[in-house]
Structure 1
Amino acid sequence: MKPVLAMIVVGLTPRHLGTLTPRLSALAREGAMSALRTLTPAVTCSVQATFMTGLTPRGHGIVANGWLFRDLMEVMLWRQSNRLVEGEKVWEAGKRRDPAFTCANMFWWYNMASSHDFGATPRPIYKADGRKLPDCYTVPDSLRNRLTERLGPFPLFQFWGPATTIASTRWIAEATKVVMVENNPTLTLAYLPHLDYDLQRYGPDETHAAVRKSLAEIDDVAGDLADAARAGGRSVVILSEYGITNVDRPIHINRALRDAGLIAVREEDGAELLDPMASKAFAVADHQIAHIYVSDPNTLPKVREVLQGLPGVERVYGAADKSSLDLDHPRSGELVAIADARSWFTYYYWNDDRRAPDFARTVEIHRKPGYDPVELFLDPAISSPKLAIGKRLAMRKLGFRTLMDVIPLDAALVRGSHGRVTDDAHDGPLIISDRADLVDGRKLAATDVKSLLLDAVFK
């Protein structure tokens, strides 16, 4: 068996290879690079599940980054149990071919309750007084202590939210190096998210100073990790799940359903909470895709009419044609809406910001009933954001329960999105390898990645 490092460089596209990414570009020239045909939805959890299993959402069941858990009637995003992913995983296939095969999963999603040998993933410590402390979950548990002693605590607040920096991506890369040297897995999976942040904030505009800086930073970290892997005798595969394209039109899909009398809300202490149990129809918004769950089949024509009348909705799929997207799975909504190239879906369901739930203005990925990229921004209405954050942190240290309510409710701030397959392959995901035989001359899809990684190990 030949050891392999497969790293995801989130949001990297063929168009990004050039003067701003000299190390990644050199690797592509030395080996080979190809555009990678992705799937719908082109979002983190769905595509990574396809990389792991070789299946589409019809087979693995990861229909988005989150969905309505119908038995609980609760919307949940960013779950971590690998048991949610149906199908044989790449490391299970490797062990079937050779029992000595081992795998380290460094921050790919669905990292818990898994059959891989080594792994690490974000796992905050939630204190009873409301504090959230940075930490990670590892397999084995002793790996957490090893990594924390070497690298310090995982920088959770630089991993997602308005304070994101290269620090979290660099920590993951350094942790991956530790595992490659000390545990020597056959297959190492690494996830480098840094490009995701500024490309969603500003769009893929390489004239923007922040985007140029992010490209240079990820090139340095990914290039350094690739060099370390190759120095240890590993071949390298670089992947991206999707490309991020320019958007300028948020679609408030749940507000439209509410105006049509289809959404129910529950009032709690002056704020409104979405009530999935009482709603006739509601949407779980996830970038440029939305799953619409309809409790009464008799209302389907009305729901479809509302959706098709929304500016920015490119197409609505139902029972008869969801199979064309391979989204005919019980976790999918009764309807699936896809935004056009310049649009994306918000989760907002309130019509008056004064009645938004308290978590709407915070980084709260597990309580919001949909994905919220506005969490990447500080509220521009706060005149001294550092002072405001410092005051809240001081109150927490004194033992007071305090909301970190510094996130705006202005979806127009978001300039980049994904989820819809891009019109131009140069704006979509890619695959690079230092082994040209794995990539050169092949038309590769996300469903081919599992077999390609096994070929890299066994051929």
Structure 2
Amino acid sequence: MRVAVLNIVGLCPAVFARRKCPNLQAFAQRSGGIRTLTADLPAVTCSAQSSMLTGKRSGQHGIVGNGWFDRSLQEVHFWKQSNHLVHGPMVWDTLRERAHAAGRNAPVIANSFWWFNMYSGADISVTPRPQYRADGRKVPDCWTQPPQLRDELQQEHGQFPLFHFWGPMSDIRSTDWIACAAMSVEKKFQPDLHLIYLPHLDYCLQKFGPEDPRIDQEIREIDRVFEGIRKFYEQRGVQVVVLSEYGIAPVDHALTPNRTLRDAGFVSIRNEGEREYLDAGASRA
């Protein structure tokens, strides 16, 4: 049986409790209810996804956050994309080994926007990858394997809306694009396992807070996207699995570890252009 795994980040019992996602609720009921995963730490995208795809904890697969300090370069690196950063076999490696041992053809694997998606063992990859032009511009784009898929997807669905994927302008447009692109990948390649990242809830829950009344409309939006992609896959005989990396909970106070470290002399700051910048390489922390 072919499987599509929908990673709807931020989906959790508290979201269901708002009763604004009838399609997801009906799917959960048909599928035997909601089950809670024991999350790895830290509960951030790169670490959580790597744990799901390797079956290992962050201390084993090496992805300890969305970014980390490189002691050789004395620089902080965020959102790197090479799959070679993840230590250990991925789920598709295990599936291929089992298929080989059983004398079956190797499964076709597609990865639509799960992280560390470049130069991996997946047969088809689609991931955000802006162009950084010589004049300093950051141009929205995506990276694909095979390479020609990039042009095909953007001709069919328009330019990937990068600025609606990250940052303060993030909204449903990026998730809509990913869902449409994933369905195009299904039509073209019919993968046996398709990993699909639908990030909308994650962004709005962090932007507004999980108890903000504006979240109700955002839940309706992701519910609409889900229902469209669910119907599409089930009509093609593909089993749909829904999961989430983590949920977003309300907080009533904030901790400021960097200020504490600075006050204690463990963080070094540089003043450039009337602004303060962290000098990570010169910091004792």
TM range (shorter): over 0.9
Partner of 2:102: none
Deviation, 1:241, is 0.5
Deviation, 1:214, is 0.5
Mapped contact 2:154–2:160 kept (Cα < 8 A): yes
> What amino acid does structure 1 have at the position aligned with 2:270?
R
Partner of 2:85: 84
Partner of 1:70: 71
Partner of 1:144: 150
SS in 2 for 1:17: helix
**Residues 167-213 of structure 1, C-alpha deviations (whole Å, 9 max, x = no match):** 100100000001111101110000000011221122222xx442000
Mapped contact 2:80–2:116 kept (Cα < 8 A): yes
Partner of 1:263: 267
Partner of 2:176: 170
Partner of 2:188: 182
Q: Aligned match of 1:252 in 242, 253, 256?
A: 256
SS in 2 for 1:223: helix
Deviation, 1:102, is 1.1
Mapped contact 1:81–1:114 kept (Cα < 8 A): yes
> What amino acid does structure 2 have at the position aligned with 1:31?
S
Deviation, 1:251, is 2.3
Partner of 1:15: 14
Partner of 1:56: 57
SS in 2 for 1:191: strand
Tell me the distance in 2 between the aligned counterparts of 1:262 and 1:34: 42
Partner of 1:380: none
Q: Aligned match of 1:126 in 108, 115, 132?
A: 132
Partner of 2:3: 4
**Residues 249-289 of structure 1, C-alpha deviations (whole Å, 9 max, x = no match):** 332221221111122223333333222222111xxxxxxxx
Deviation, 1:77, is 1.3
Alignment of structure 1 residues 366-445 onto 2, 5 Å: none
> What amino acid does structure 1 have at the position aligned with 2:28?
A
Mapped contact 2:267–2:284 kept (Cα < 8 A): yes
Mapped contact 2:171–2:204 kept (Cα < 8 A): no
1:96 aligns with 2:97: yes
Partner of 2:246: 242
Tell me the distance in 2 between the aligned counterparts of 1:250 and 1:131: 35
Deviation, 1:45, is 0.7
> What amino acid does structure 1 have at the position aligned with 2:20?
L
Partner of 1:31: 31
Tell me the distance in 2 between the aligned counterparts of 1:171 and 1:58: 34
Mapped contact 1:95–1:102 kept (Cα < 8 A): no
Give the alignment's Cα RMSD to 1 decimal.
1.3
List structure 1 segments (4+ residues) > 4 angstroms apart after TM superposition: none
- Aligned-pair identity in percent equals 46
Mapped contact 1:106–1:120 kept (Cα < 8 A): yes
Tell me the distance in 2 between the aligned counterparts of 1:265 and 1:14: 42
> What amino acid does structure 1 have at the position aligned with 2:233?
A
**Residues 301-330 of structure 1, C-alpha deviations (whole Å, 9 max, x = no match):** xxxxxxxxxxxxxxxxxxxxxxxxxxxxxx
Deviation, 1:238, is 0.5
> What amino acid does structure 2 have at the position aligned with 1:245?
A
Between structure 1 and structure 2, the one with the greater Rg is 1
Tell me the distance in 2 between the aligned counterparts of 1:82 and 1:143: 19
TM-score by length of 1: 0.59
Partner of 1:382: none
Tell me the distance in 2 between the aligned counterparts of 1:249 and 1:146: 47
**Residues 91-141 of structure 1, C-alpha deviations (whole Å, 9 max, x = no match):** 111111224211100000101121110011111111122211111001111
Partner of 1:113: 119
Mapped contact 2:50–2:86 kept (Cα < 8 A): yes
Deviation, 1:224, is 1.2
Tell me the distance in 1 between the aligned counterparts of 2:221 and 2:177: 13
1:46 aligns with 2:50: no
SS in 2 for 1:226: helix
SS in 1 for 2:282: coil
**Residues 368-427 of structure 1, C-alpha deviations (whole Å, 9 max, x = no match):** xxxxxxxxxxxxxxxxxxxxxxxxxxxxxxxxxxxxxxxxxxxxxxxxxxxxxxxxxxxx
Mapped contact 1:13–1:243 kept (Cα < 8 A): yes
Tell me the distance in 1 between the aligned counterparts of 2:187 and 2:205: 32
Mapped contact 1:8–1:191 kept (Cα < 8 A): yes
> What amino acid does structure 1 have at the position aligned with 2:171?
T
> What amino acid does structure 1 have at the position aligned with 2:267?
I
Tell me the distance in 1 between the aligned counterparts of 2:251 and 2:77: 26
SS in 2 for 1:67: strand
Partner of 2:223: 219
Mapped contact 1:10–1:193 kept (Cα < 8 A): yes
Mapped contact 2:3–2:193 kept (Cα < 8 A): yes
Deviation, 1:15, is 2.6
SS in 1 for 2:96: helix
Deviation, 1:151, is 0.2
SS in 2 for 1:230: helix
TM-score by length of 2: 0.94
Tell me the distance in 2 between the aligned counterparts of 1:142 and 1:173: 19
